[in-house]
């Protein structure tokens, strides 16, 4: 049986995973500062993106996501492993993205997020996020 602390830790971690999706989908990139540790690293290279420290990734996200008319992260089935003041999680993500040009077909991105967490004086924070590609569907063909 899980203790109340374990249940609380899992809920706080799940809230971070959810908060990330909302921050990205609504382009509230400064919200990422409350989700990640200041020294966090993110790696989106599995789906063709950038990798680096949080401040660089925030700037990259601002420049790249303006190419899309919208996107929506659907995250599910997070497997959280607690180890005292650290934790890891593996989460499925389905991310449809559509272009500003309504004639362009949507892009569907399927991936897993591999996250590391650390308990801080202000609560749990992500210390790293790495994507693993599942599928990319709808990419324009290059001739």
For residues 133 and 47, is the Cβ–Cβ distance under 8 A?
yes
| Residue 142 included in any domain | no
Give the pair of three-digit tokens for residue 143: 């001739």
Instruction: Give the residue ranges of the chain where pLDDT is below 70.
Output: 139-143
| Residue 97 included in any domain | yes
| Residue 143 included in any domain | no
| pTM for the model | 0.92
Tell me the CATH number at 53.
3.10.450.50
> How high is the pLDDT of residue 83?
98
> How high is the pLDDT of residue 105?
84
> How high is the pLDDT of residue 101?
77
> How high is the pLDDT of residue 100?
81
Q: Based on the structure, what is the number of domains in the chain?
A: 1
How many Å apart are CA 114 and CA 75, to the nearest integer?
Answer: 12
> How high is the pLDDT of residue 18?
97
* Residue 57 CB coordination number (10 Å): 22
Domain extent, residue 81, equals 4-137
């Amino acid at each position: 049986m899980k203790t109340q602390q374990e249940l609380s830790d899992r809920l706080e971690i799940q809230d971070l995973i959810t908060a990330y999706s909302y921050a990205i989908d609504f382009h509230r990139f400064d919200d990422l500062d409350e989700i990640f540790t200041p020294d966090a690293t993110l790696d989106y290279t599995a789906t063709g993106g950038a990798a680096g420290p949080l401040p660089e990734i925030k700037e990259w996200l601002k420049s790249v996501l303006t190419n899309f008319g919208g996107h929506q992260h659907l995250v599910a089935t997070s497997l959280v492993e607690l180890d005292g003041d650290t934790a890891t999680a593996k989460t499925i993500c389905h991310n449809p993205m559509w272009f500003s040009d309504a004639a362009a077909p949507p892009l569907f991105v399927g991936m897993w997020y591999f996250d590391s967490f650390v308990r801080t004086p202000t609560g749990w924070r992500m210390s790293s996020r790495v994507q693993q590609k599942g599928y990319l569907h709808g990419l324009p063909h290059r001739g």
